[in-house]
Structure 1
Amino acid sequence: MNTYFERAAAGLDCVWQRTSGTATSGRVVPDGRTDIIWTPRDGLSVAGPDTVGHVTALSPGEMFGVRFGPGVGPSALGVPAHVLRDLRVPLAELWDDVAALEDALAAAADPCAVLADAARHRLRTTPPDPLTGAIAGSAGTPVAALADDLGLSTRQLHRRSLDAFGYGPKTLHRVLRFDRAVKLAWTGAPFADIAHRTGYADQAHLSREVKDLAGVPLGQLIRP
């Protein structure tokens, strides 16, 4: 039996757990976020921000993760987001205390709680760029106007966005709009309604964007 669930975690996007009873595969799609992932077999790794969807193999067993909100993960990981774009790397390449964390995870009744505590500790030490929320929440605002609102040049805004999110502002807003649309689709909302609520010109525009970013149509993407 294969299961996946998420739960809220203070200061983070969520923590999550996946259990696979058999070898299977899953499609990962862009969401503007970074994850730290732990499996008892493979240890700790980092999933950087994606630009396109891809299929990943899932071995039998349990997988635990902590997901940072948009623009937050790089502060905890210690590297700009664009360095991790479309990559999966061992956490040991970024943190120097991974062995102790893996020991704590192996002994924990709730590995997700351990991961969340480690992530929050890092964020207290190195908080995110204070402009990340404003950049992420500015969908629909022209780049030049956004830069002016934030007191930055367009070049400075682009660099801040690459460092925090892994994308320039235009791509970031495209990815975050796609993510909102996919979340609505999982609730069973009609696709035409989703297109209207998330700012696409029409359902055809939504369909093209989903195919470009996920690699499959929206109906196939959310199929159980």
Structure 2
Amino acid sequence: MSTDQPRVLVVEDEPAQLEVLAYNLEAEGFAVSRARDGEEALLIIAEDAPDIIVLDWMMPNMSGIEVCRRIKSKPETRSTPVIMLSARSEEVDKVRGLETGADDYVVKPYSVIELMARVRTQLRRVRPSSLGQQLAFDDIILDGETHKVTRGKDELKLGPTEFRLLTTFMEKPGRVWSREQLLDRVWGRDLYVDTRTVDVHIGRLRKALLQYGGADPLRTVRGVGYALG
């Protein structure tokens, strides 16, 4: 699975609905994981947290409301956007869904085009570069569409891994990322890479960012990991 593709988890117990959603999301360029029930969804999220979750309310055993509550109660997944799908159109149900922590609420039957737009809106909040937007931090500008990075007036030369690392940092300035979290986000779970590889690429990224001078924007947090700013 490409780490550049935004990852969407679709949780839906109706196989036909699940496939329609997955097909349309993949056509939009998203990497899609599928879950048929709440328990399976929570396992997938724990193993490899997606960028966004499309979650059906009415499911056997564990409702979407309970799944959403658990996602939002954990610090590591609290900021993951959840779009709740429901046949319940009453205002009270919508309020309940949003109060549980859902970031958006879409009533069935829904327009696929509208749902895709809502997915992109939520992604713009958490992974703007995946939609080709520019990111800025101090005098560093990263363009997700052209894959160019500039610092001040100078264009920086970055390898693809360093570009993905910098993107991760610039999407959440100040956040401290552990080596394991960076491995998941930048290299993906498919690849066996030693955590020391992260240090090597951080060194390369630092060198690239400082090639025309300026202060070092990367911070090493001893015993924890790395942060931007």
Shorter-chain TM-score above 0.5: no
TM-score scaled to structure 2, two decimals? 0.34
Normalised by the length of structure 1, the TM-score is 0.35
Greater relative CO (CA pairs within 8 A, separation 6+) = 1
